[in-house]
Chain A
Amino acid sequence: MSMATIRSPQALEYLSVVGMSRDSKVVTEQWLKSEEHYWLPITRRPHGDAEKFQALAETWRREVQFLSSVTEMVLHSAYQRIIGMGAAVVPHLLRELERRPDHWFWALTAITGADPVKPEDRGKLRKMTDAWLRWGKEQGLTW
């Protein structure tokens, strides 16, 4: 069984982050965990940081795509798990920013403590991305 065959109902994916009662969220989360456990045994789960990051990033992108709230986006469980990967995930974040700019800035600041974005560039995705990629190079990071 490949990853491509895992088909969680979209309703659960979207509604797990918005507009549900606490009880409904708990039931939904348990349902998704059960399904994940069934389809993806521990022996087939992503092992490397790159695989783990990509899996979490894809989940995050899908589940926050209709949200405008930065707070809601960064509090999403997949985003928080990426932050929890620590310094090892920084090159993956920078590679992702370079390849597909998105709102990874909070995670980068949370992990590194840095904030290279100029005040006048706040909210400007491309300039924020450029600032972080420049910062990464200045730190001698490769990605």
Chain B
Amino acid sequence: MSEDLEFVFPHLARSAYAITSPSTPEYNCIAWAAGDAERWWWPVAGSFAYWPPNIPLQESLDAFIKAFGSIGFTPCGDANVEQGCEKIVLYVDENGKPTHAARQLPNGRWTSKLGKSQDIEHELESLSGAVYGVVAQVLKRPIDE
């Protein structure tokens, strides 16, 4: 438990969550949702971050859906656990700009990398609020057996 985290994400205090890694600036939530713990993903020109090739360098939900589409994710209607599928969610702020991504775990809970801070395991709505906004898109891909 962390008072700092609960202060910034007040819903965490009213739900079960666990810190699952130390802080690191090596990867961010987008990379973590994509299964990459070695790069910082963000659509920015230049060499300052990774972004999948041939995906628009735009901070838009559409560009993020395309980025995850490049690794097999497609839009999906709900965030319920689905056998044989891996799901992620994208959060957007009040202007519709992507802020965060979380990945569903097999137990139905979610794992998030909080910027340069820690990874946590949490409930889906625990991170909604002033910092990350709201969940705007669910994506899924088949799990390789």
Contacts and interface: CB of A to CB of B under 8 A. Distances in A.
B67 interface: no
Given A19-B130, A119-B47, A122-B49, A71 B42 contact: yes
Contacts of A118: 47
Nearest to A119: B47
Interface stretch (A27-35, A51-59, A62-70, A76-84): A62-70
A109 B49 CA distance: 13
- How big is the A interface, by class? 20 to 34
A141 interface: no
A14 B115 CA distance: 13
Given A14-B131, A19-B131, A103-B25, A70 B48 contact: yes
Nearest to B5: A66
A105 B48 CA distance: 6
B115 A65 contact: yes
Interface string A100-121: 0111011001000001011101
A124 interface: yes
Interface stretch (B26-34, B73-81, B137-145): B26-34
Contacts of A122: 39, 47-51
A134 B27 CA distance: 22
A103 B117 contact: no
Interface of A: 10-11, 14-15, 18-20, 61, 64-71, 74, 101-103, 105-106, 109, 115, 117-119, 121-126, 128
